[in-house]
Amino acid sequence: MKRAPPASGFTLIEIAVSTTLFAFISALALSLMIGMNNSSARVRVVGDTQTGGRLGLEGLAADIRAAGGGTASGQVGVAPGGGGARRVPAMWNGPTTTVTAPGGQTIISNSLFMITTDPTAVGIPADATGMQGLVVEASQGTPLKIVCSDGTGASVDCGNGLLKTLTPLLVGDFRDAVYMTPTVLGAPQNTPPTQQLTYAAKLIRARVVHWYLWQPTASDPPQLRRSYPVLTSSALGSACASNDKPFLDETNDSSGNSPAGKDMGGGAIESLQVRFLVDAGGTDDPTRFTMLNTIGVCDTAVPATLREVRLQVVARTANPDVDQVSRNRNLYSTPGFEGVSPSATTMDAYPRRAFTVGVVPRNLQGIRL
């Protein structure tokens, strides 16, 4: 007679111990997974903020480098509305804007107008007949006498072309401005002496850009915008005033007819701060440069002394930083820049990233010996 084999299996204590151990390991793994998910979500949110802030700042810096369009004097002429020609700076501050953060902070941001050139219109525009000018007679106190020819060499009426002046002067339609370069200066002849001056025209159209923050309502995320303002149709007074508006867009024209800007940040940009380092004494010594908070529309001499533009852009996430398990919120505030801070110390759960850069406006440097 065979004996039955002994019973096999786990005891109740072994089952309880293994169950407890499995539950502990599962909870630990779940906790690690949730933590990694929280960290990954935060990285994505902050990464999007960094990308938007950097893209906007790079675009603004590029426009600053090109500001002036070859006029080292730092000023350009305009004559809107049939009024007399007026000099305006190649770069000046537009109206400030106020942005409200989710925590209730209010941030005063700068805006910047710049006269530059249009890179998409290099060459002979379709409406241009003038290509080159030849000065055939000139006397002190009298107008120059010139002969104009088009791109084929045929003589044309200078008044039908874009050859307006030897200096950067934007008269009437500022988009049809042209910068001319003297090429040959002949020897003095006759009495009184005249000199023959040949010059070539760089057919590059002028362009005005305006960078600013735009927030229609306090609940909307603020945008870093760039617009292409239009020349006002109203004549400016003979004397410059700080509230003059030579160029109009949605920030300074309530009629609704002026151009609106385009979002250049790709997300909520909460602060735009601009500062100017100038060398008013012409020292070329960075230790003696002075800082200006603003350049006004009447400050035509200041841009020629401009050596650096300092910028700060603060980007804000679209979503709050909330722990998915504890539901706790990490609090953040908007950073200040060069002594300018939000009006209150209230903090909220939206992460920020501040980006700063110093930009040299190359066209405004001129030649300094």
Residue 165 structural domain: 132-202
Residue 309, in any domain of the structure: yes
Peptide bond into 95 cis (omega under 30): no
Residue 22 lies in a domain: no
> Tokens in use for 115?
């006269």
The count of structural domains within the chain is 2
**What pLDDT band is residue 233 in, cutting at 50, 70 and 90?**
confident
Residue 9 lies in a domain: no
Amino acid code (one letter) for 250: E
The contacts of residue 269 (CB under 8 Å, 6+ apart) are 52, 53, 56, 213, 222, 223, 224, 313, 314, 315, 316
Residue-wise pLDDT for 241-298, tens only, equals 888 998 999 999 988 889 999 999 878 898 999 999 999 888 888 899 999 999 999 9
Q: Are residues 97 and 238 in the same domain?
A: yes
Query: Same structural domain for residues 299 and 210?
Result: yes
Looking at the structure, do residues 275 and 357 belong to the same domain, yes or no?
A: yes
> Could you say which of 160, 180, 202 is where a domain stops?
202
Give the pLDDT band of residue 126 (cuts 50, 70, 90): very low
Are residues 185 and 263 both part of a single domain? no
Shared domain for 64 and 156, answered yes or no, is: no
Residue 26 domain flag: no
Does residue 214 fall inside a structural domain?
A: yes
232 lies in a domain?
yes
* pLDDT of 41: 55
| Beta strands 97-100 and 91-93, pairing class | unpaired
Same domain, 281 and 356: yes
186-200, 249-263, 326-340: least confidently modelled range:
186-200
pLDDT at 146: 60
Comparing CA positions, the residue from 284, 336, 282, 274 lying closest to residue 63 is: 274
User: What sign does the CA torsion over 297, 298, 302, 303 have?
Assistant: positive
Question: Are 197 and 229 spatial neighbours (Cβ–Cβ below 8 Å)?
Answer: no
Q: What is the mean pLDDT of residues 308-331?
A: 80
How far apart are the C-alpha atoms of 168 and 188, rounded to whole Å?
A: 26
Q: Are residues 117 and 254 in the same domain?
A: yes
Residue 97 CA to residue 151 CA, distance in Å, equals 46
Let me know whether 211 and 97 are in one domain: yes
Are 45 and 178 found together in one domain?
A: no
Among the residue ranges 127-131, 203-207, 214-218, the one predicted with the least confidence is 127-131
* Phi, psi at 65, each rounded to 5°: -60, -35
Q: Which residues of 275-300 are buried (b: 16+ CB within 10 A; e: fewer)?
A: bbbbbeeeeeeeeebeebeebbbbbb
Does residue 46 lie in a domain region? yes
Interatomic CA distance for residues 343 and 326, integer angstroms: 31
Among 166, 187, 202, the domain boundary falls at 202
Alpha-carbon distance 223 to 265, whole Å? 7
Same domain, 107 and 145: no
Closest listed residue to residue 165, CA positions, set 150, 180, 186: 180
Considering the domain architecture, whether residues 91 and 158 belong to the same structural domain is answered as no
Measured CA to CA, the distance from residue 239 to residue 85 in angstroms comes to: 11
Domain boundary, last residue among 202, 225, 248: 202
Within a domain: 156: yes
Give me the pLDDT at residue 363, please: 80
Range from 54-58, 190-194, 311-315 carrying the lowest mean pLDDT: 190-194
Give the pLDDT band (50/70/90) at residue 225: very high
- Same domain as 154, residue 68: no
